[in-house]
Amino acid sequence: MNIRIAVSGASGRMGKALIEAVSANDQTALVAAIERPDSSLIGADAGELAGIGKLGVRLVGDVATVIEDFDVLIDFSAPAATIKNAALCAEKGKGLVVGTTGFTDEQKAELEKCSQSMALCIAANYSTGVNLCLKLLDTAARVMGNDVDVEIYEAHHRHKVDAPSGTALRMGEVVAGALGRDLNKTAVYGREGQTGARDRDTIGFATVRGGDVVGDHTVMFMADGERVEITHKASSRQSFARGAVRAALWLAQSEPGLYDMQDVLDLH
């Protein structure tokens, strides 16, 4: 039996990629697509919007109107909308895959509370390759230890609204955790002027925005005499979309709780 999937943020770049990925998977069926209630696209066919032909699924402006129709919601929208959708899914015990980034600490706490009543997966990046890199970063940080300087570089398209990317921040959290550091205290998000000698305990971030870059990330472990770099480059959003669909299939068989893509891939 196919898992019934709904997509929130359906008209965005990731939303269109998700519609395509759900439709292409023989274990899933797209049953609902959601956009902002004030969107001019309400009523449009989701398949035509994604460029894959008619699917017979019309965009709606509220998850509540389709809450009984799906098993799992994949949400790549905006923090406020995702929080609202999470509350609805928790009330009905629906699975939720969250790819939205930029949550406040209070919003993260709300999501964690919702996970007591539903299976919830939150990840900064659903690419299989990126999540493999997170595992490698943990290993590299533990092996290289405190004898290296750590710098994180990321590049994305000109339309991305948050910086650093959620993936870069997650990479920083993994490295900081492996080194026993608090990223909130050690992160450096920009350098200018007479900054003085580098503090080895810091983790630096460099952000680039431009063009149509889907997503590049590199973490550098720099010691005297050698340097280790772990890099991931995405050339298509389908890598993220396929991973999110994989997470949705996994959640459909899972008990209520808070999960991440490392759980889905059994990398913990």
d(C-alpha 83, C-alpha 101), whole Å: 12
Element (H, E) at 88: helix 79-92
d(C-alpha 18, C-alpha 75), whole Å: 10
d(C-alpha 197, C-alpha 205), whole Å: 16
Instruction: For residue 14, give the 3-state DSSP assignment.
Output: helix
Q: Which of 156, 159, 185, 233 is catalytic?
A: 156
Residue 37 neighbours by CB distance under 10 Å: 9
Show the tokens assigned to 44: 């449009």
- Tell me, yes or no, if 156 is annotated catalytic: yes
End-to-end CA distance of the chain: 29
Q: Which of 84, 135, 157, 160 is catalytic?
A: 160
d(C-alpha 23, C-alpha 112), whole Å: 30
Element (H, E) at 156: strand 149-156
β-bridge mates for residue 229, sequence order: 220
Give the pairing type, strands 59-60 and 72-75: unpaired
d(C-alpha 18, C-alpha 234), whole Å: 16
- Tell me, yes or no, if 108 is annotated catalytic: no
Catalytically active residues, by annotation: 156, 160
